Every structure is written in structure tokens, then in C-alpha cells.
Amino acid sequence: MGNRQVIDSTALLVRKILAGAEAGHDWWHINRVWNNAKLIAGHEDVDLFVVELAALLHDIADAKFHGGDEEVGPRVAGDFLTSVKVDPAVIEHVQNIIRYMSFKASFGNVAFHSKELAVVQDADRLDAIGAIGIARAFSYGGYKNREMYNPEIAPNLNMSKDDYKNSAAPTINHFYEKLLLLKDKMNTQTGKAIAQQRHQFMEQYLEQFYAEWNGVEREQNPERQ
């Protein structure tokens, strides 16, 4: 199989496996991350084949839906890529990207680095911020039956990996615990520039959210008067 065919069959497999997945981690998340990854990779000197495969396979089996087993994803991805005869070195690289790219993995020492990981991680992080990021956070909070906001529960700004995994806090807290921190964690110049704009959108969103929550009228947008 040529590289293009491998990518097409990987996309088909992922789409099939993620049918019916929760909205924040469904095929459309993968499709957005794939597109973001290709966009960023266009400005970087990277192996596009590895980038595309890792973007497509990065959420193939999320540990939080498999009893915390963080090796399921790399294993499923590896088995599939072996079945379509991808070079073992490429498979190992893709598996390492899947293993090390999640936000959880950024707690503690990260033992693996590559330019391809940097690109795919930025692509995934971009999908957690901005308008889509807001939609995903409330979708996830709803899925977990969380409160949207509770002014009596302050965000926890010093979370360990376990605190982060076990948090049942209101969804608004997640903005302070993760989403607003992402712009400073971007790896690539292209990723940083896109993140900056999405970050500002989230800040405006939060201002509007609190104004509405408190029944306060915000200043009218002069263009609309």
C-alpha cells in the first residue's frame, strides 16, 4: 500500500471505531485535528506521513474510557499499522506520539520529543480552545453531569495529574485549570499565532458569561448601535 492509501484506510478505520463516541472525542474532533496538523506541518520541516497517522490515531482508545489503561491507544494503533505493513520505525514513532501528547502526559517528565509530536500536539491543543474548545468543554461537562458554573467552587490552579483526572468541578473551572493555559504551551510558531486569537475569543466569552450570570448589562458593541 502507498502512503496515501494507508492514510485513507486509517481514516476509515478511525471513523468506524469512533462512531457514536462522545462529541468531544468523535470523528469530527479527529478530522479537525488532522486538518490543523496538515496546516501547521505546512510551515514545519516534518515527516508528513507520521504527522497525519498520529493525528488520525491519537484518540483511537482514550485511557479514561478504558479503565485508565494508557497503553490501549498505542497498542490498537500499532496493531492496525502493522496489519497494513507500515515501516516499524514509523509505527514506533506514531505510538510514542500517541503516548506522550496528552495534556495529562505533560505532568511530570516527558520522556519523548519529536518535531512531529510537537505539530500533532499543537493541532490537538488548538481544538481544545476557541469556539470549538468552549463547545467541547460544555459537551464533556454535560456528559459527566457537571455543573456549568458554581461561584462557590474556586478553580484549582495547582492540580496534580490525579487531581486533573478525578476532578468533578464545574465546567467553567476547566477554563482556568486547562483551556486558558494552553496558549503558552504551544510548540510551533503557527500554533502559537492561531492559539492567540482563539484565546482572546475565550476571554471575551467568559466576560459575557459572568455578565449574564450576574444580570449585569455589558456595554453595547458600538458597531451595532
Are 40 and 190 contacting, i.e. CB atoms less than 8 angstroms apart? yes
Nine cell digits for residue 177: 485549570
Tell me which of ligand ADP, Ni ion, none is bound by residue 77, counting a contact when its beta carbon lies within the kind-specific cut-off of 5 to 8 angstroms: none
Cβ closer to ligand ADP: 9 or 139?
139
Q: In whole angstroms, how close is the CB of 59 to Ni ion at the nearest point? A: 4
CA 163 to chain CA centroid, nearest Å: 19
Nine cell digits for residue 114: 519529536
Nearest CA among 88, 116, 86, 81 for reference residue 101: 116
| Interaction of residue 59 with Ni ion, rule CB under 5 A | yes
Binding residues among 133-162 for Ni ion as defined by CB under 5 A: none
Cβ closer to Ni ion: 59 or 177?
59
The residue from 136, 183, 198, 199 that contacts ligand ADP (CB under 6 A) is: 136
CA distances 137 to 7, 25, 72, 113, Å, are: 29, 11, 24, 28
Task: State the number of binding residues for ligand ADP (CB under 6 A).
Answer: 16
Contact segment (CB under 5 A) with Ni ion among 12-20, 37-45, 88-96, 122-130 equals 122-130
Contact segment (CB under 6 A) with ligand ADP among 68-76, 85-93, 133-141, 214-222 equals 133-141
Q: Give the number of other Cβ atoms within 10 Å of residue 23's Cβ.
A: 14
Tell me which of Ni ion, ligand ADP, none is bound by residue 195, counting a contact when its beta carbon lies within the kind-specific cut-off of 5 to 8 angstroms: none
The residue from 167, 180, 185, 201 that contacts ligand ADP (CB under 6 A) is: 167
Nine cell digits for residue 27: 470523528
| Interaction of residue 199 with ligand ADP, rule CB under 6 A | no
> Phi/psi zone of residue 108: left (φ > 0), alpha (ψ -120 to 50 degrees), beta?
left
Site residues for Ni ion per CB under 5 A: 59, 124
